[in-house]
């Protein structure tokens, strides 16, 4: 059976496993929408996907009844609870009738669940199709393709939402050149423009993100400068030099580093690192790019280590043995054989670490000083794009210009990540071809 | 059309019909709440939302009010002044908390949306203290000096320009600590320093939260910053503030704020949609009572003048 047939058609048979696989997510989504959105007391656009899911549920249920050689109309048992609710809403009933409806609903629910979810279908083929237990492969196909499709749907859904919120101002009013090249970030200014034309006084709000873009890139670059040598070095050590016992301990410790929440890193930056940097560098304040860079490096090292270590482990032992047989020293084996053989994986490790740094919000918000400032060195205080969204979105009026600008920053971040990923893809392709 | 097909179409149309009817009926029916009354407990609900500065205060009021009127429960949520105003505009709260005044265009929006105008109540005061590190020798400061430190094209950037030798700060540079540009505290401090005439100079450290400001200043000898009076710790010092150098200096404390001599104190607002009625009115009346105002003082804010 094909995807559409399984999900939407009322013909054919399916087995218990398929019924559960398709229905569990549907039940979950319905439960969430009842709890979180007060469905069905509110009608909105979100209602349409729920109708589609209800259709899928009915179609699958009909096929399950067929599997037990029951006619399609047995699906109507599903409507008994709805009729009960209908009475509840429209008429005052005596308590005896009430209990009766209650009992019927519960018994009906338990019975259908038992029949559909736990009872085998008829053996061999029946009037609706061949035995379902023997043709269960295709449902797994459907399920896996659903998982794949859903990730694409989510990415596009998120992009659509972000774009929708920002689009109005992006195409109607925002000076994109100023947005990208001006360092003046005054989203809530109340000062009147000096040269405002007679009539409507114009308020001098300025949305320039140049300093924020520089901030994001500089702190990420600094973090990578610190994290890449340590991360790759640690990965080589763990994969090539450690005894198995030490390796396990190391991996657990490094993974523990990844489990620390970013707000904790931010707090360490705000308190401990702040004073340390003041003391060591004689800086006026320790909330600087250096502070944020160190925090980001500490957060991305675990990612770099674990991915790079996997890449090194994936190099076949025969490479190492061949090199050693030729008389190469350990260092030569690593430098001349392992690193070139694993370079795709190592590059992926570095890029994922960088992506972690660009996307990080809470730690940089707290540790870098969060100051609109063109960075002039590791000891200057800066502000990143992500931290700006995090700090300001909470108190902004919905639909406001400022609100839309924050979403346009989101679009900007999207484009930056897209370009980084594209470059990474091209680089890896280039490496493969040469 | 085969028989089997016919049955499935019939089922689908019954389904669609039932769901539509169900939804239309359901719209008039709310699970837990009817006309602001909780169905299960029979309590009236007052929804209260807004300013993060005021959220602890609002919660303390709500808790104490339980003992006063046990047929009423007050649901408090934070999220910032902007969130409270947005909820007011959408008509989803009974009372919104706000550490800044609601703007005219927001009032207009609320009127258009709900047909009622937000009514303003001042329920207490919050004094913004100017903080420095505890080892900073500076004791007092004037508003024009603050404006020259924080404002655009201001010309005070070193501590010795204030006439002191800040020995803990080797670079002598004044590090300006501020708040993110749309917090109520930021709005109020900007208004207090230069009205609508000037903006802050960029390059201040815009921290996220009143507590962080005091935390950072307590660890940084070069820093100056502003935050609520109630956030003071042992590591920081509050400066006395004067309107100009000719006027007397006043410390941020209860007496000075009540006497309205301390220059950077702001009112804390509550807004209702239209004149409050019923339980919401009773709640607001209680907040203005002696009992309600005592809670204001307990939480480090300044109560209204005792009548």
pLDDT in tens, A268-327: 998 899 989 988 998 888 899 999 999 999 999 999 999 999 999 999 999 999 999 999
Are residues A113 and A216 part of one domain? no
The more confidently predicted of residues A400 and A313 is: A313
Most confident of B13-17, B35-39, B99-103: B99-103
Q: At residue A409, does pLDDT exceed 90? A: yes
pLDDT tens for each residue of A180-208 = 999 889 888 888 766 655 555 677 888 99
Query: Which residue shows structure tokens 């549907």?
Result: A26
Q: At residue B49, does pLDDT exceed 80? A: yes
Mean pLDDT of A248-254: 90
CB contact under 8 A, A58 and B15: yes
Q: At residue A8, does pLDDT exceed 50? A: yes
A-proximal residues of B, 14-33, CB under 8 Å: 14-16, 18-19, 21-23, 25-27, 29-31
* Nearest CB neighbour to B80, from listed A190, A271, A394: A394
Mean pLDDT of B83-89: 86
Are residues A224 and A114 part of one domain? no
Q: Is beta strand B95-98 parallel, antiparallel or unpaired with respect to B265-273? A: antiparallel
CB contact under 8 A, A402 and B182: yes
Instruction: Give Cα B16 distance to the centre of its chain.
Output: 47
Check residue B105 and report its DSSP letter.
H
Tokens of B24: 């239309």
The number of C-beta contacts closer than 8 angstroms across A and B is: 165
Mean pLDDT of B14-34: 59
pLDDT tens for each residue of B271-307 = 998 888 888 889 999 999 988 888 888 887 888 875 4
Q: Residue A74: its pLDDT value, please?
A: 87
CA distance A401 to A159: 19
Q: Is residue A425 part of a domain?
A: no
Are residues A110 and A250 part of one domain? no
| Smallest Cα distance from B220 to chain A, Å | 6
Q: Give the domain CATH number at A287.
A: 1.10.3720.10
Q: Is residue A175 part of a domain?
A: no
Q: Residue B18: its pLDDT value, please?
A: 66
Are residues A386 and A298 part of one domain? yes
User: Of A102, A130, A158, at which residue does a domain stop?
Assistant: A130
B201 near A CB under 8 A: no
Closest residue in B to A399 (Cα–Cα) = B86
Mean pLDDT of A217-236: 95
Q: Residue A29: its pLDDT value, please?
A: 81
Could you tell me the pLDDT band of residue A21, with boundaries at 50, 70 and 90? confident
Are residues A215 and A126 part of one domain? no
pLDDT tens for each residue of A148-165 = 888 898 889 888 889 988
At B88, phi and psi to the nearest 5?
-65, -45
Q: Is residue A187 part of a domain?
A: no
Mean pLDDT of A374-400: 87
How far CA A338 is from CA of A250, A263, A343, in Å, comes to 21, 37, 8
Q: At residue A346, does pLDDT exceed 80? A: yes
Q: At residue A230, does pLDDT exceed 60? A: yes
Are residues A122 and A267 part of one domain? no
User: Of A130, A160, A193, at which residue does a domain stop?
Assistant: A130
- Which of A196, A285, A403 best probes binding to B when mutated, by most B CB atoms within 10 angstroms? A285
In 3D space, the residue among A411, A423, A299, A418 whose CA is nearest the CA of residue A357 turns out to be A299
Check residue B47 and report its DSSP letter.
E
- Report the mean per-residue pLDDT for chain B: 84
Q: At residue A399, does pLDDT exceed 80? A: no
Q: Residue A421: its pLDDT value, please?
A: 80
How far CA A234 is from CA of A227, A305, B163, B212, in Å, comes to 10, 6, 52, 35
Query: DSSP H helical segments within chain B, as ranges?
Result: 3-27, 55-68, 81-90, 104-114, 143-150, 184-194, 210-219, 254-258, 278-288, 290-298
CB contact under 8 A, B181 and A71: no
- Report the mean per-residue pLDDT for chain A: 85
The more confidently predicted of residues A126 and A202 is: A126
Residues B186 and B228 sit within 8 Å (Cβ to Cβ): no
User: Of A94, A112, A130, at which residue does a domain stop?
Assistant: A130
Q: Is residue A300 part of a domain?
A: yes
Q: Is residue A418 part of a domain?
A: no
The verdict on pTM exceeding 0.90 is no
Q: At residue B73, does pLDDT exceed 60? A: yes
Residues A221 and A353 sit within 8 Å (Cβ to Cβ): no
Predicted complex: ipTM over 0.95:
no
Q: Which residues pair with B205 in a beta bridge?
A: B177
Domain coverage including residue A374 = 209-395
Mean pLDDT of B240-264: 89
Q: Is residue A295 part of a domain?
A: yes
Are residues A325 and A219 part of one domain? yes
B168 near A CB under 8 A: no
Indicate the number of domains in chain A: 2
Are residues A124 and A216 part of one domain? no
Could you tell me the pLDDT band of residue A383, with boundaries at 50, 70 and 90? very high
Q: Is residue A161 part of a domain?
A: no
CA distance A144 to B19: 31
Q: Is residue A201 part of a domain?
A: no
Are residues A225 and A336 part of one domain? yes
Comparing A215-229, A242-256, A282-296, B29-43, the range with the smallest average pLDDT is: B29-43
**Which secondary-structure segment (H or E) carries A289?**
helix A289-313
In 3D space, the residue among A112, A374, A249, A373 whose CA is nearest the CA of residue B205 turns out to be A373
Are residues A25 and A112 part of one domain? yes
Could you tell me the pLDDT band of residue B1, with boundaries at 50, 70 and 90? very low
Q: At residue B45, does pLDDT exceed 90? A: no
Contacts of A131 (CB under 8 A, 6+ apart): A121, A123, A124, A125
pLDDT tens for each residue of B143-174 = 999 999 999 888 899 999 998 888 888 888 89
């Amino acid at each position: 059976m094909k995807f559409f047939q399984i999900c939407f058609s009322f013909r054919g048979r399916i087995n218990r496993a398929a019924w559960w696989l398709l229905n569990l997510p549907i039940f979950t989504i319905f439960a969430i929408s009842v709890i979180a959105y007060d469905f069905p007391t509110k009608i909105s656009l979100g209602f349409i996907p729920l109708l589609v899911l209800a259709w899928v549920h009915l179609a699958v249920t009909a096929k399950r009844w067929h599997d037990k050689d029951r006619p399609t109309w047995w699906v109507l048992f599903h409507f008994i609870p709805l009729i009960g609710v209908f009475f509840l809403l429209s008429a005052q009933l005596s308590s005896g009738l009430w209990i009766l409806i209650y009992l019927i609903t519960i018994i009906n629910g338990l019975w259908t669940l038992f029949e559909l979810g736990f009872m085998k279908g008829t053996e061999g083929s029946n009037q609706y199709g061949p035995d379902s237990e023997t043709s269960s492969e295709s449902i797994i196909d459907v399920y896996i393709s659903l998982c794949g499709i859903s990730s694409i749907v989510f990415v596009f859904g998120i992009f659509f939402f972000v774009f929708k919120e920002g689009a109005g101002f992006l195409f109607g009013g925002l000076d994109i050149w100023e947005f990208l090249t001006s360092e003046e970030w005054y989203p809530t200014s109340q000062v009147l423009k000096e040269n405002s034309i007679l009539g409507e006084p114009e308020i001098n709000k300025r949305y320039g993100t140049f300093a924020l873009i520089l901030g994001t890139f500089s702190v990420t670059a600094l973090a990578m400068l610190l994290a890449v040598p340590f991360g790759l070095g640690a990965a080589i050590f763990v994969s090539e030099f450690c005894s198995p016992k030490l390796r396990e301990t190391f991996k657990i410790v490094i993974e523990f580093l990844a489990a620390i929440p970013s707000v904790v890193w931010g707090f360490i930056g705000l308190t401990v690192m702040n004073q340390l940097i003041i003391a060591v560098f004689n800086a006026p304040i320790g909330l600087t790019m250096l502070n944020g860079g160190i925090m980001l490096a500490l957060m991305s090292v675990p990612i770099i280590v674990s991915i790079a270590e996997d890449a090194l482990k994936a190099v076949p032992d025969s490479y190492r043995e061949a090199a050693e047989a030729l008389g190469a020293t350990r260092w030569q084996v690593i430098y001349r054989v392992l690193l070139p053989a694993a370079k795709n994986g190592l590059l992926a490790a570095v890029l994922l670490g960088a992506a972690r740094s660009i996307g990080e919000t809470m730690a940089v918000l707290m540790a870098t000083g969060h100051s609109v400032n063109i960075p002039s060195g590791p000891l200057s205080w800066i502000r990143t794009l992500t931290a700006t969204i995090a700090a300001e979105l909470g108190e902004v009026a919905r639909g406001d210009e400022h609100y839309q600008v924050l979403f346009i920053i989101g679009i900007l971040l999207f484009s930056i990540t897209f370009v980084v990923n594209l470059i990474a893809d091209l680089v890896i392709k280039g490496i493969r071809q040469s | 059309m085969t028989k089997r097909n016919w049955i499935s179409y019939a089922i689908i149309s019954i389904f669609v019909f039932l769901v539509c009817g169900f939804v239309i009926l359901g719209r008039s029916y709310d699970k837990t709440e009817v006309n602001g009354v909780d169905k299960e407990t029979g309590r009236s609900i007052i929804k209260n939302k807004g300013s993060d500065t005021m959220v602890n205060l609002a919660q303390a009021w709500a808790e104490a009010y339980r003992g006063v009127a046990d047929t009423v429960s007050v649901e408090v949520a934070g999220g910032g002044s902007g969130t409270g105003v947005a909820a007011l505009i959408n008509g989803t709260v009974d009372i919104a908390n706000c550490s800044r005044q609601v703007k005219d265009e927001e009032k207009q929006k609320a009127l258009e949306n709900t047909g009622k105008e937000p009514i303003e109540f001042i329920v207490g005061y919050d004094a913004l203290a100017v903080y420095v590190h505890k080892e900073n020798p500076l004791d007092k400061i004037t508003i024009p000096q603050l404006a020259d430190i924080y404002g655009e094209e201001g010309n005070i950037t070193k501590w010795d320009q204030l006439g002191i030798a800040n020995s803990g700060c080797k670079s002598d540079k004044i590090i300006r600590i501020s708040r993110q540009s749309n917090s109520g505290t930021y709005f109020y401090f900007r208004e207090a320093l230069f009205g609508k005439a000037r903006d802050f100079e960029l390059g201040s450290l815009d921290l996220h939260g009143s507590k962080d400001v005091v935390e950072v200043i307590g660890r940084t000898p070069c820093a100056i910053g502003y935050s609520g009076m109630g956030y003071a710790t042992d590591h920081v010092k509050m400066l006395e503030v004067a309107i100009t150098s000719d006027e007397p200096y006043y410390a941020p404390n209860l007496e000075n704020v009540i006497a309205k001599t301390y220059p950077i104190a702001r009112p804390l607002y509550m807004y209702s949609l239209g004149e409050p009625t019923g339980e919401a009115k009773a709640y607001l009346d209680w907040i203005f009572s002696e009992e309600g105002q005592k809670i204001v003082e307990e939480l480090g804010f300044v109560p209204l003048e005792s009548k």
